[in-house]
């Protein structure tokens, strides 16, 4: 079964093989492995290691987003969130649940956020201390421009928390060039093509120190994680880590380097998305986002208007043909999602388009365009 979902993604056999060993995470032989992973991640994010720390957290991406909010946005701080789609909604919700105040900035779900709209919102409310931006909005496939938006935020003297979960490893990130970004968050299992179970925050040390003690949670306290690293060294974890997942991530990072690093990975994903966009259009389906606004991470396609259409039926028909796509809707009008990331190539998408064509025919769907 080939996973064409925007996480967890299809992985290479070498990555999965790295899981099949017992590991004692406190043994000295694990420490260099883990420390090496962190320095490679710092390079990919273009961190300046005199100013930034690579902080790990057991668990999924939302845990790391919550840790960043708790550790870097003090109680009483206000977070402006451009409402780009369901991942922005999640950031807004988890921030509110920590007792912080969220200001929602209305935004398009099919076009990048306008930096000017962020500038206006910041000018209108001097109490907003941070902007929470989703780099690649995985619900729609639109990629936003953190460099342009961060420039505006820096100009206004505020800070950025960046959800780079479905971006890191493929889309560029330059932490050193953007000192206003306090944190960028990602996981092992999206564009890095590792296994789910560990997430990371690239964080500014001065911001961590400034807000030390504000997390209101020991588990999610990035400053505490940072202090542990300083005290016990960068090869040690605070609580029991997913050590096999970390070993698999080391292999995944070696494969990323062998492929040519972030630019090469981006080029492969762009080729995947182009093959998918063209193919879906060719068989009479309509992508949700215009070609200009379409990002290389995930592609949404309008549900056909035909009465014979059902998403569970389509997902099952595709599974029978060897492909797994996302099985829920998360856009205002129904659209199905196909991931373009993972250990997959344009050839896989050519085969997928033929499978989708055959599945629609078998389901008796004649009107493939949306209502």
**Footprint of ligand PLP on residues 80-139 (CB under 6 A)?**
87, 134, 138
Q: How far is the CB of 310 from ligand PLP (least distance, A)?
A: 25
Cβ closer to ligand PLP: 269 or 309? Answer: 269
Closest approach, Cβ 320 to ligand PLP, in A, equals 26
Nearer to ligand PLP, 163 or 348 (CB): 163
Helical packing angle, 61-72 and 86-97, nearest 10°: 50
- From residue 154 to residue 193, what is the string marking binding to ligand PLP with x (rule CB under 6 A)? ---------x-xx--------------------x------
Q: How far is the CB of 326 from ligand PLP (least distance, A)?
A: 11
Q: Which is nearer to ligand PLP, 134 or 214 (CB)?
A: 134
C-alpha–C-alpha distance, residues 175 and 183, integer Å:
9
Residue 40 or residue 62: which is nearer to ligand PLP going by CB? Answer: 62
DSSP string, 153-211: HHHTT-EEEEE-TTTBTTB---TTT-TTEEEEEEETTSTT---SSEEEEEEEHHHHHHT
- Cα–Cα distance, 331 to 109 (Å, whole number): 8
Query: What minimum distance in Å lies between the beta carbon of 26 and ligand PLP?
Result: 26
What distances in angstroms separate CA 216 from CA 66, 284, 294, one per listed residue? 11, 52, 39
Q: How far is the CB of 187 from ligand PLP (least distance, A)?
A: 5
Nearer to ligand PLP, 200 or 309 (CB): 200
User: For the chain, what is the radius of gyration of the CA atoms?
Assistant: 21
For the bound state, the minimum distance from the C-beta of residue 136 to ligand PLP, rounded and expressed in Å, comes to: 6
Shortest distance (Å) from residue 7 CB to ligand PLP = 5
In the three-class reduction of DSSP (H, G, I as helix; E, B as strand; rest coil), residue 259 is classed as: helix
Distance CA 302, CA 84 (A): 18
CB 191 within 8 A of CB 170: yes
Q: Which two structure tokens, joined as six digits, stand for 249? A: 């991530």
Q: Which two tokens stand for residue 337?
A: 């999602």
Residues 269-308 as x/- pattern, contact with ligand PLP by CB under 6 A:
----------------------------------------
Task: Give 183 or 353: the residue with its C-beta nearer to ligand PLP.
Answer: 183
Q: Which is nearer to ligand PLP, 138 or 300 (CB)?
A: 138
Q: Which residue is nearest to ligand PLP (CB)?
A: 61
The 29-68 site mask, x for binding ligand PLP (CB under 6 A), equals -------------------------------xxx------
Please say which residue, 187 or 262, places its beta carbon nearer to ligand PLP.
187
Q: Assign 75 to helix, strand or coil.
A: coil
Rounded-to-integer distance, Cα 340 and Cα 289, Å = 15
Cα–Cα distances in angstroms (integers) from residue 65 to residues 108, 125, 171, 219, 292, in the given order = 22, 24, 18, 13, 29
Q: How many residues bind ligand PLP (CB under 6 A)?
A: 11
Output 144 or 204, the one with its CB closest to ligand PLP. Answer: 144
CA-CA distance, 322 to 22, in Å (whole number)? 32
337 binds ligand PLP (CB under 6 A): no
Query: Is residue 8 reached through a cis peptide bond, with omega within 30 degrees of 0 on the bond before it?
Result: yes
The one among 2, 4, 5, 7 contacting ligand PLP by CB under 6 A: 7
- What are the residues binding ligand PLP (CB under 6 A)? 7, 60-62, 87, 134, 138, 163, 165-166, 187
């Amino acid at each position: 079964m080939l996973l064409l979902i925007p996480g967890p993604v299809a992985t290479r056999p070498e990555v999965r093989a790295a899981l099949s060993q017992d590991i004692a995470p406190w043994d000295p032989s694990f420490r260099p492995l883990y420390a090496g992973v962190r320095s490679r991640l710092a390079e990919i994010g273009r961190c300046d290691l005199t100013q930034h720390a690579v902080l790990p957290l057991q668990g999924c991406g939302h845990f790391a987003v919550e840790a960043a909010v708790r550790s870097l946005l003090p109680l009483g701080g206000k977070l402006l969130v451009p409402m780009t789609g369901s991942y922005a909604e999640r950031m807004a919700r988890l921030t509110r649940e920590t007792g912080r105040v969220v200001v929602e900035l209305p935004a398009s779900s099919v076009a990048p956020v306008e930096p000017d709209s962020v500038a206006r919102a910041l000018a209108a409310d001097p109490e907003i201390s941070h902007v929470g931006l989703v780099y690649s909005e995985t619900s729609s496939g639109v990629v936003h421009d953190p460099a342009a938006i961060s420039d505006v935020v820096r100009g206004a003297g505020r800070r950025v928390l960046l959800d780079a979960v479905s971006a890191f490893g493929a889309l560029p990130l330059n932490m050193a060039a953007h000192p206003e970004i306090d944190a960028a968050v990602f996981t092992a299992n999206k564009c890095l093509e590792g296994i789910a179970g560990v997430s990371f925050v690239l964080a500014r040390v001065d911001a961590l120190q400034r807000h030390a003690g504000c997390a209101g949670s020991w588990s999610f306290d990035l400053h505490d994680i940072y202090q542990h690293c300083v005290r016990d060294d960068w090869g040690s974890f605070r609580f029991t880590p997913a050590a096999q997942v970390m070993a698999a991530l080391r292999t995944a990072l070696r494969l990323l380097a062998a492929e040519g690093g972030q630019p090469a990975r981006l080029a492969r994903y762009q080729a995947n998305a182009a093959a998918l966009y063209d193919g879906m259009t060719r068989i009479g389906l309509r992508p949700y986002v215009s070609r200009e606004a379409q990002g290389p991470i995930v592609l949404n396609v309008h549900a056909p208007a035909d009465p014979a259409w059902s998403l569970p039926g389509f997902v099952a028909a595709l599974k029978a043909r060897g492909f797994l796509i996302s099985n829920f809707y998360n856009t205002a009008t129904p659209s199905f999602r196909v991931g373009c990331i993972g250990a997959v190539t344009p050839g896989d998408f050519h085969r997928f388009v033929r499978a989708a064509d055959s599945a629609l025919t078998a389901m008796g769907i004649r009107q493939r365009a949306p209502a």
